[in-house]
Structure 1
């Protein structure tokens, strides 16, 4: 196999700009088929993005002989089913976050990848973005000394611009999303913590539905002790006043701190009373760096940028904080 020829299951809003076009821009990669239950919308997507074929049935796309890799971008409810079907068909899978409805479903997906001997990657794509790679380098170089603890706050009003829009508000339906907006946004943040600080010693959390406006938690707190002694504290609330919204993460070390947003383009490094600001250009397609790494992995030219096993650990945190 010299080229990855992708099929997308679930060519909805998230694939319009964030990911879809990147499959044709990554080296040795092309998008050859898309699927959506609504046939008219699948056809429209294919025409607008110059995709050769479209389907309204996932099985037809999976069994398309030209498709040799599958990107699953449906709501989390379908991730397990379609991932296992694609793996059983011998086709490697790149699946959106959160990996599944819960950690048990995620473990079954990993087990299927091992059973069929087929590759599986998870779309924790911030790992490969320049801003977050720079933070990893700063930590490895001990730019702020030995790491002590992390404070993260994600406080958003109910109509936050950070939360992806969709025709139906499935992100607040636990049967489809596994949880609420916490399950939509926190996977990226929690995955980065594991990416930066490694194995987890223990964790706990608390979740509340304070407004009662739907069936999901709108306030979550979580705490992690990593095996290297780093402590993480996170707060997510999706019902604060407009003027109180915050997207902020601070990593404290023995010599200073690193401050950055999860949805922004600037890092601030404070050491010895001085502040350094590092600015990054917005990415046209935020998943393109990750997709390029996944393509290389599927072609046996690089390592897995985010394995199913790593993503299971993030799912366990989601479950643990909200149980």
Structure 2
């Protein structure tokens, strides 16, 4: 579903599970400049549904780093950990429609189920597609497993979901904005993710549900994020269609990489903006470096 908004709205949505690096600065600055160029809104959202890894000191560092770069955003800032009710409502709607089901399988059980099938298809992240072990469990069996203390995750029944969308006749695609005025329409093929987990057993939501709900509730019209999330858009478009949420435009920008060609990443301990600052880098020098990165060939 496509809806129109009075002003273009952009957002930068980091997780507060570590310090920002130059790749984050590049994405935040790009969002800020695009919003400024069209007289649009700039939002900051803290994606902190992973309450075990996200910490207040990392959140404060996000504000400090972005302010140091000279960026500004609307307040109040939306913090996902304060909105689990919104995500629960979206998940309950999918369950009522028969489009999601509880899954009790561990990752090891999934791997064991397909271990003898070397040609078993895998998702874009390289994990084997879920073989449907819990898809047809009876209500009695589901209740028995819960009574045993086995907390389930929640998976999307992608076949049923695609059938629902097909019955409504609307195309499942999105507008991908490129450099300058270049745009193209991308046909969404969410089946590449199989029966994706849409609520983790420990958190009771997922990045996928939270991000589409937040973008809709905040009126985001333009999602500008790294190309590492391009494939996730296939699943996000399906969830938006199922939940009758507005469809933004997307722009997946290239990633900043280190000297070895690895993308800058918290998990790979990329040098943080905080460290650059402590070594004496000025905001002006940081912005000049980001400008050079923006002009570099992909």
Indicate whether the TM-score tops 0.5: no
Q: Normalized against structure 1, the TM-score is what?
A: 0.21
- Whose relative contact order is higher, 1 or 2, with alpha carbons under 8 Å and at least 6 apart? 2
Indicate the structure with greater helix content. 2
Indicate the structure with greater strand content. 1
Q: Normalized against structure 2, the TM-score is what?
A: 0.22
